[in-house]
Structure 1
C-alpha cells in the first residue's frame, strides 16, 4: 500500500486530491498549516498532520510522522490578483515564500528517502497562468513559473535515481476558497491603484465570464495521472480551460 503526502489539504484542490488517492486505496498524509477536524473523513488510511511550508521544523516533523512516503504533492499556495505597481514588496515576498520556496523546502526534505530507495514522485501544482499572458497576475505567475523551471531541472537531476518530478497546471476554478480569497473585493481593491481601476474591472469581468472553468476533481484526477505517468512527460494541464491554453501554446 503506497503513501502520498499532500500539502495544503484544508480545502480545494488539496482536499479533493486527498479524497481521490484515499478512494484508490492509498495511505494519505493530509497536511495543513492549521489542522482542524471535519475537513476529511475519519479513516485508518488518512492522517491529518500539521505542516507549514514556510516553517522548516514543521516539514521535518511531518515527514517523521509520515514515515515512508512514495509521492509528494506540493499543493499548498497562496493566491494573488493584483497590479504590480500597487503590490508591496512584503506581499511579493510572502507569495514567493509559500508558492516557490515552500515547494523547494518540502521537496528537498523528502528527496533523501526517494533517492536512497530508488523510487518516488514529486508533483508540483502550479497554475495555468504559466501557459499564457494573463494580466493581474505578475507576482503570482512569477512564483509559479519559477516552480515550473525548478521542476524541469529537478526532473533531470532525479532521473538517474529512478525518481520522477512533474507539474500539474490547474485552470481557473471559481469554487475554491483559494479563488474566493484571490478575487475578494477588499483584497483586490487595495492592490489596484486608482488609474488602473477601470481596466482591472474589465479584466476581472472577462475572466469570470469565460466559457470554460476547472473543477477540483479535474485537478485531483490529473495529479493521479501525473503520479502514474512513466513516459517522461513533465507538464500536465488540468481542466478544460488549461488544456485549451496548453494546446494553443
Structure 2
C-alpha cells in the first residue's frame, strides 16, 4: 500500500487531499500543528500526527513515526495581506519561516531516504499569486515564489535519483481559511491611502462568483502529481489557476 505524508491537514486543501488519498486506498499520514483526528474519516489506513513545520523536533518525530513513505505533500502555510510599507517585521519573518523554511525543513527530513531508495515524489503546494504582481500580498507572494524556485532546482537535483518533484498552484478559494487567517495581520484600514485597496481585497476574498479554486481541485492536482509519472513540474489547481497559468505562459 503506498503512503503519503501531508502537512497542514487541519482544514482546506490539506484536509481535502487527505480525504481523497484515503478514499483511493492509500495510507495517509495527516499532520497538523494541533492534531484533530475526528475531522477525517475513521480508517485503519489513517495516522494523525503532530507536525509544526517551524519546529525541527516535531518534524523529526513525525517522520520517524511515519516510517517509510512514498510521497511528501508540503501544504502547510499561512497568508498575510498587508502593504509592504506597513507589514511588521515579525509577520514577514513568520511568513518565510513557515512557508519557505518550513518547506525546506520537511524536504530535508525525507530527501535522504528518497535518494537512497531512488524513488519518491515531492509535491509542494504554493499559489498562483506567484504568477503575476498583486497588491497587498507582496511578502506572502515572495515566500511562495521562493518555494517555486527551490522546487524547480530541486527537481533537477533529484532527477538522477528517480525522485519526482512537482509544484501545485491553487488559485483563489473562498472555501479556505486564507482570508480568516490573514485578518489578524491586516494593517492599513486606518490609512486613507490604503483603505480603499484593502476593502477591495477583503470583498474579493469573500466573493465566490466567477472562476475559483475548490479544495477538491487541489486534491486532484496533488493526486495527479503523486500518481502520474508524466505530470508536469507545475500543475494548476482550479479554473482560475488554469486561466492565470495560461496568461503567464
Q: Counterparts of 1:46 and 1:196 in 2: how far apart (Å)?
A: 46
Q: Counterparts of 2:236 and 2:160 in 1: how far apart (Å)?
A: 26
Q: Which runs of 5+ in 1 are unaligned?
A: none
Tell me what 2:198 maps to.
200
Q: Counterparts of 1:41 and 1:113 in 2: how far apart (Å)?
A: 29
**Range moving further from structure 2, 236-245 or 38-47:** 38-47
Deviation track 1:3-23 (CA, whole Å, cap 9, x = no partner) reads: 000000001100000000111
Equivalent positions of 1:181-192 (< 5 A) are: 181-182=181-182, 184=183, 187-188=185-186, 190-192=187-189
Q: Counterparts of 1:151 and 1:70 in 2: how far apart (Å)?
A: 18
Equivalent positions of 1:98-109 (< 5 A) are: 98-109=98-109
Q: Counterparts of 2:85 and 2:189 in 1: how far apart (Å)?
A: 8
Tell me what 1:162 maps to.
162
Tell me what 2:111 maps to.
111
Q: Counterparts of 1:208 and 1:32 in 2: how far apart (Å)?
A: 26
Q: Counterparts of 2:110 and 2:190 in 1: how far apart (Å)?
A: 42
SS in 2 for 1:86: coil
Checking the alignment, whether the CA contact within 8 Å between 1:30 and 1:48 is kept in structure 2 is yes
Equivalent positions of 1:1-249 (< 5 A) are: 1-182=1-182, 184=183, 187-188=185-186, 190-192=187-189, 194=191, 195-206=193-204, 208-209=206-207, 211-231=210-230, 233-249=232-248
**TM-score, normalised on structure 1?**
0.94
Measure how far apart 1:239 and its partner are. Answer: 0.3
The count of corresponding residues between Structure 1 and Structure 2 is: 246
Q: Counterparts of 1:140 and 1:104 in 2: how far apart (Å)?
A: 16
**TM-score, normalised on structure 2?**
0.94
Deviation track 1:83-110 (CA, whole Å, cap 9, x = no partner) reads: 1111011110001000000000000110
Q: Counterparts of 1:193 and 1:221 in 2: how far apart (Å)?
A: 41
Measure how far apart 1:177 and its partner are. Answer: 2.2
Q: Counterparts of 1:235 and 1:119 in 2: how far apart (Å)?
A: 20
Q: Counterparts of 1:206 and 1:36 in 2: how far apart (Å)?
A: 30
Q: Counterparts of 1:29 and 1:198 in 2: how far apart (Å)?
A: 43
SS in 1 for 2:108: helix
SS in 1 for 2:48: strand
